[in-house]
Amino acid sequence: MKQRKILVTGGAGFIGSNFVHTILEENQDVTVTVVDKLTYAGNLKNLDKWKGDPRFEFIKLDITDKSEVFSKLQNIEVNEIAHFAAESHVDRSILGPEEFVKTNLMGSFYMLELARKLYSQNGLRVFLHVSTDEVFGSLGEDGAFTEKTPYAPNSPYSASKAGSDHLVRAYFHTYGLPVITTNCSNNYGPFHFPEKLIPLMILNCLQGKPLPVYGTGENIRDWLFVKDHCLAIDLVMRDGKFGETYNIGTRNEKNNLDIVHKICELMDEKNPKGAPHKKLIQFVKDRPGHDFRYAIDPSKIENELGWKPKYKFEEAIEQTVDWFLENRSWWEEILSGEYNKYYESQYKELKS
């Protein structure tokens, strides 16, 4: 394989920044260019480690601005694209869907148009589109999503991601662009933005704040450690088949209440002055259209590409809690800014 020169969109966000760490730590002979708008969820601190490294470059850019995308990137020397940039939070998509349609659909469209140009100029090797299991809708008690499960998105977020998946597919069939899509389950790990369930619970425990559990807490998610996810994406970029999709997950279903209990247990051990943290649990209004259950069947990536996760849930969730305990200034800065306003008004609404 020629030297890999990877363009990473959304590389200052949670999974994108973990991907940059994985790629640069695991390979010497690779360069990474991150493009990111730095929305509320993007944070250059996530990439501090690579500042000044000749293998790393950052370009501030909004993927919904077509002229900016083309003026800044049409002559860029890259041979792979990993497309992570998106609006990612379901609750925010319910409050304001427009940004989701713009970024996830139109932004992805412009990235595909750029990829088409780079492909015809220099022969781009692969365009990897990072998508979600939420495009498949909600499961009942049994079964798991496979690559053949029909699309049935239920939130503005998942509908906008589903739209982008269809565009990616169309660019393979129509233009022969070497695309691959991955659909993964809920990630957790370092740099996870505090609005999401796991970091929210860790940080509220640390601050002695209520732990808001939607509805009955029985909804099920299939938790994937972000470092396993990033290794899987790298594998798909190297060995995946163009025009195909791969589901990524680790058969790790848990209901929300079990996750919250696990975090409380770990916090009792690591933050004994707040124990028992369970007393902070508060059942609040349910999310509208709340999908009951997600579960990924990862047989295809396991059987065809030989993928195996490296981490077990018990060690990875503890590593995650430790990361938040050790990186106080990272989250304190976020909690003292704009995000706090969003959280307080969201929490007020959930209690009403």
CA distance 167 to 223: 27
The bridge status of strand 281-284 relative to strand 211-214 is parallel
What are the residues whose beta carbons fall under 8 Å from the beta carbon of 93, sequence distance 6 or more?
87, 100, 155, 156, 157, 160
- Piece of 26-34, 127-135, 306-314, 337-345 that binds ligand DAU (CB under 6 A): 127-135
**Contact by Cβ (8 Å): 280, 210:** yes
The percent of the chain in helix, strand and coil, each rounded to the nearest 5, is 50, 15, 35
Which among 133, 195, 228, 297 is annotated as catalytic?
133
Which of 20, 124, 177, 200 is in the footprint of ligand DAU by CB under 6 A?
Answer: 200
Query: Is 295 among the residues that bind ligand NAD (CB under 6 A)?
Result: no
Q: Which of 107, 137, 240, 249 binds ligand NAD (CB under 6 A)?
A: 107
Cβ(85)–Cβ(107) under 8 Å? Answer: yes
Total of residues contacting ligand DAU (CB under 6 A) = 19
Cis peptide before 309 (omega within 30 of 0): no
Using CB under 6 A, which of the segments 61-69, 92-100, 130-138, 303-311 binds ligand DAU? 130-138
> Which of 88, 93, 155, 219: binder of ligand NAD (CB under 6 A)?
88
Q: 219 is in the binding site of which of ligand DAU, ligand NAD, none (Cβ under 5 to 8 A by kind)?
A: ligand DAU
Asked if 31 touches ligand NAD (CB under 6 A), the answer is: no
Least distance in Å: CB of 122 to ligand DAU?
Answer: 31
Closest approach of ligand NAD to the CB of residue 129, in Å: 8
For residues 8 and 233, the answer to whether their CB atoms sit within 8 Å is no
- Cα distance between residue 302 and residue 37, in whole Å: 34
Q: What gap in Å lies between CA 319 and CA 98, rounded to an integer? A: 36
38 binds ligand NAD (CB under 6 A): yes
- Is residue 253 part of the contact set for ligand DAU (CB under 6 A)? no
- How far is it, in rounded angstroms, from Cα 202 to Cα 205? 5
Residue-wise burial string across 129-160, b where 16 or more C-beta atoms lie within 10 A, e elsewhere: bbbbbbbbbbbeeeebbeeebeeebbbbbbbb
Q: Does 178 sit behind a cis peptide bond, omega within 30 degrees of 0 on the bond before it?
A: no
- 50 or 157: whose CB is closer to ligand DAU? 157
The footprint of ligand NAD on residues 174-203 (CB under 6 A) is 184, 186-187, 193
- For ligand NAD, the binding residues in 109-148 under the rule CB under 6 A are 130, 132
Q: Counting contacts by CB under 6 A, is residue 163 touching ligand NAD?
A: no
Binding part of the chain for ligand DAU, among 46-54, 207-215, 297-305, 312-320 by CB under 6 A, reads 207-215
Active-site position among 119, 157, 188, 294: 157
Residue with tokens 């209901």: 255
Contacts of 337 (CB under 8 A, 6+ apart): none
Are the C-beta atoms of 46 and 12 separated by less than 8 Å?
yes
Please confirm, yes or no, whether 134 is among the known catalytic residues: yes
Give Cα 218 distance to the centre of its chain: 23
- The answer to whether 219 contacts ligand DAU (rule: CB under 6 A) is yes
197 near ligand DAU, judged by CB under 6 A: yes
Residue selected from 36, 62, 134, 234 as contacting ligand DAU according to rule CB under 6 A: 134
* Residue ranges binding ligand DAU (CB under 6 A): 88-90, 132-134, 185-186, 196-197, 200, 212-214, 219, 221, 256, 287, 294
Enumerate binding residues for ligand NAD (CB under 6 A). Answer: 10, 12-16, 36-39, 41-42, 62-64, 84-88, 103, 107, 130, 132, 161, 184, 186-187, 193
Catalytic annotation, residues = 133-134, 157
